[in-house]
A and B are shown apart, each in its own frame.
Chain A
Amino acid sequence: MNKARWIGLALLAAAPLAGMGDYPLHLIILCLLWAFVYTGWAVMGRLGMVSLGHGAFLGVGAYVVVMGWNHFHISPWLGLPLALAATAALAFLIGYPCFRFKIVGHYFALVTLALSEVVRLIIIALRDYTGGSLGVTPKTALAKASWSLSAMQFSSKLVWFYVILMVWLAGLWIWTRVDRSMSRLALEAISQEEDAAASIGMSVTRLKLGVTMVSALMTCVGGVLYAQYQLYVNPESVSGIGISLQMVFGAIAGGMFVRLGPTVGAVFTLLLAEGLRLTIGHDIHGLDATIYGLMLVLFIIFMPKGILGAAIEAYEKRRRAPRVAPA
């Protein structure tokens, strides 16, 4: 198993060297980037904190860095910690009262949903700086060179591939660390019996805030990378309901309880989006969001463990079955 994992990783890392076209490489990069973001969402989503507001953190990441660069000549490398600080503050602002006053389940989802919309509306309202709904492009540093480290801009897709591959791996590592931590057990306990958890000394607020921070900061990093890679962001693509729902969909469809679940979800979402684009095109506004919503409901009802979760379960059932039969 372990060997297969390393071979798979080596193949993935070597794939672009085999000379694939720019477009397939672009799709792989986006896949890994969204896989990282969905993994970040799943860090808290799997523990019963279903946030419909992660678009807010993605938006803060993308816009703080781009605004800092465009208006204040702050290098994205400096913008990144600023964005992380802003995200942490925002996550605390929304998380602390929710967790302190036991806003859970649907109510938590609604509060966070409002958060992502507020961030989107703020970005649009500040149109003089942000370009409003039309979006914004980071001032290019690629006029004379093909890359600029200080501007975090690289025209080579290969560079981005390796950067985002590393970030994705880091995301999986964080997921695993959280998975094996005492906090994860504690949060599962909290999501099942909050009063009993408090009665044995768990600080529900602090534990929930902890994973929320991890999850929000990962999402923020995703937003920064998205903006720097695409060199264009608009409020719809990094904040608001649409993208927040897409994160929920990706993580749940792939399987939020297994490490590679959100990654499978990212592949699935991308294939779905490409499929929709080829069959329906861009014409019918809002149709894709409707389809995501519908499919999300179907997944939650019929495949709550997601594609990978269900596959692993089926595999283990088959492996165990022969041992039971002779007895």
Chain B
Amino acid sequence: MLSVSRLTKRFGGFTAVNEVSFELARGEILGLIGPNGSGKSTTFNLIAGALAPSAGSIRLQGREIVGEPANRIAHHGVARTFQIPRPFRRLSVVENVALAAYYGQQERPSRENAFAQAREALALVNLPAEDSARVDGLGAAGLKKLELARALATRPQLLLADESLGGLDETEMHQAADMLAAIRAQRGITIIWVEHIMGALMRIVDRCLVLDHGEVIAQGPPQEVAHDPKVIEVYLGSDAEDVQATVAARTG
């Protein structure tokens, strides 16, 4: 599905992403984790075409997508959410999502269908779909959901979800995690999920990729990664035992 090879991004003399390589199979959920500033969002920006890589290759279903603009990559079936939500504030909630349904799919639906699909996507994430719903009325959690609904409305094959849960409470968080798993199950979407809340992430991902200073320091199934001394040292720290318990509860 996705094959990233020696992907590198330099900002001036600073290397934010350094020779990152990984493969992703269709229908997989990959957890992309690592400390703050380790290059996770930058990796997303590179895959989604928001930034051009300094070197490396990104193949989506065998096709090289490096160099293509973000809007074309969206048409190839890649959708992403932004870590800091970027809603269209002066448009209504439905309009925000309808634009994604209208412009984001390979075959453009009619205006009416775009709005109908937008309402479906909003229902999926539990957001109000009335015409009168405004972006200003949404809290932090609502904005995260809107990001997700907007991305889903493009009917992607690959979803890049960047910290969708920060700001949600415990139950909402688990609901959202279950929702990603359900979306994967229903639509067969492949997902890369960036998340600092390990309790939620480790419960549903198939595999983890751990970045530190832009480099891959570990990758593998959650139980392996949670016990990896390097990962514990740079990232999990004192939470390691909780994370290991989460993983154990899941496999057990």
- Residues of A at under 8 Å CB distance from B? 182, 185-186, 188-189, 192-193, 195-204
Contact = CB atoms under 8 A, between A and B. Distances in A.
A188 B69 CA distance: 20
B99 A185 contact: yes
B75 interface: yes
Contacts of B79: 199-200
Contacts of B104: 200-201
B193 interface: no
B99 A186 contact: yes
Interface in B144-159: 150-151, 153-154
Interface residues of B, number: 32
Interface in B91-117: 91, 95-96, 98-100, 102-105, 111, 114
A186 B88 CA distance: 10
Nearest to A206: B71
Contacts of A185: 91, 95, 98-99
B80 interface: yes
B235 interface: no
A193 B88 contact: yes
Given A186-B103, A192-B90, 20 more contacts: A182-B111, A185-B91, A188-B88, A189-B91, A189-B96, A192-B89, A193-B86, A193-B88, A195-B70, A196-B87, A196-B150, A197-B99, A198-B49, A199-B70, A200-B100, A200-B151, A200-B154, A201-B103, A201-B154, A202-B99
Contacts of B105: 201
B50 interface: yes
A327 B126 CA distance: 30
B48 interface: yes
A305 to B, nearest CB: 13
Chain A's interface: helix, strand, loop or mixed, by majority? Answer: helix
Contacts of A189: 88, 91, 96, 99
Interface of B: 48-50, 69-71, 74-75, 79-80, 82, 86-91, 95-96, 98-100, 102-105, 111, 114, 150-151, 153-154
Contacts of A196: 82, 86-88, 150
A219 B150 CA distance: 36
B88 A199 contact: no
A90 B80 CA distance: 36
Nearest to B160: A199
B70 A198 contact: yes
A195 B102 CA distance: 17
A198 B99 contact: no
16 contacts: A182-B102, A182-B114, A185-B91, A185-B95, A189-B96, A192-B91, A195-B70, A196-B82, A197-B99, A198-B74, A199-B70, A200-B74, A200-B103, A200-B104, A200-B153, A201-B71
Contacts of A200: 74, 79, 99-100, 103-104, 150-151, 153-154
Contacts of B154: 200-201
